[in-house]
Structures are given as C-alpha cells and as structure tokens.
Amino acid sequence: MTAPLIHMELKSDPRVLSGVREMVSAVARRLAFDRPTADQIALAVDEALANVICHGYERRPVHPIWISIHEMKSDQPAIKIIIEDEAPPVDCDQIKGRDLADIRPGGLGVHIIKEVMDDAIYEKRGDVGMRLTMTRTGNRQSDQSSASPQKDPP
C-alpha cells in the first residue's frame, strides 16, 4: 500500500469531529469526488469515529485514534480511509447495523457506513484495538456526475 496522503492522531474527544469532517470532505473533493459524495465520505468517517469514542472508549476523551487517508489507483476518484484505535477488541461478527424496521434511537452508525461506502471491513489489531478500512470509488466532479446515479439514497 502506498504512503497515506494524511496520517494523523486524534484524541477521542467528540469536539474534534467537526474539524475531521471538514478535513475529510476537503481531501475527498481534492481527489475529484463531487460534493455530495465527499460529504457522504465525511459522514462515514464521522460515524466511525463516533462509534470508537462512544463504544470503544466509552466516551473517555483522552484515548488515541489514528486516521489515514489513501488515494487508490483508479480511473475514477477512489479513496481508502483507515481508522485505528486501542479500544478493547470486539467480535467483528457483532459489528452490524440494526434492523431498520426496528425504529429506535441508536444503532444506525454502522448501517450508514456500509450504505455510503463501497467496503467497510473491521478487524482486530493484534492484542489491542480495532481497525476499520473503508473504501469508496466513483462520483467524480463533472457535468456528467450530476447525471450519474449516487450510491444512495436508496
């Protein structure tokens, strides 16, 4: 894998989320994603970080989270984002979005991530921590992009 365009360490403080969203959306647009797609990618990152903060670190704001952004080789805009933490590892099979017919607060984050990204793969980082690797390809900035279907909404 090529070196990341960006690799940064965050604290697990929800106040960082707005800045990270802006950064991710800006980078995605620089990689030629159109604005709606860049915003969706930023939403997926926001949801992933919120899950780490809320569930992994139980809202304690002092723990590290690492985010790496890679440009992938493709004739379309293509991005890979890796989010890693040091939270207690969980069974990857248990990480799934809730049944949308069961309307209740919470449980939407994983569903949103899987809906807006092409791939979202959770894995354990050895003895400690989790890694989420997300990719998204397509929806270039151009006159044609507005005519091509977005990945969502459904």
Partner 1 sequence: MSTDGLQVNIDDRDGVAVLSPVGDVDMNASPDLRARLKPIVSKDNPRLVIDLSQVPYMDSSGVATLVEAMKLVRNHKGSLALCCMNDRVRGIFEIARLDQYFSIHDSLDDAVEQV
In the complex, the residues that contact partner 1 under the rule CB under 8 A are 14-19, 21, 36, 39-40, 43, 46-47, 50, 53-54, 100, 103-106, 108-109, 111-112, 115-116, 152-154
Nearer to partner 1, 18 or 74 (CB): 18
Q: How far is the CB of 118 from partner 1 (least distance, A)?
A: 15
Nearest to 116 by CA among 82, 154, 147, 148: 154
* Closer to partner 1 by Cβ: residue 86 or 115: 115
The residue (of 70 and 117) whose beta carbon lies closer to partner 1 is 117
Which residues, at least 6 apart from 23, have a Cβ–Cβ distance to it below 8 Å? 6
Nearest Cα residue to 139 out of 35, 45, 69: 35
Closer of 123 and 152 to partner 1 (Cβ): 152
Residue-wise DSSP of 128-142 = S-EEEEEEEE--BSS
Cβ neighbours of 130 (radius 10 Å):
22
For residues 27 and 138, give the distance between their C-alpha atoms in angstroms, rounded to a whole number.
15
Smallest separation (angstroms) from partner 1 to the CB of 15: 5
Q: Give least dist CB 10 to partner 1, A.
A: 12
Q: Closer CB to partner 1, residue 12 or residue 135?
A: 12
CB of 19 to partner 1, least distance (A): 8
Smallest gap from Cβ 16 to partner 1, in A, equals 7
Identify the CA nearest to 61 among candidates 112, 94, 17, 6.
Answer: 17
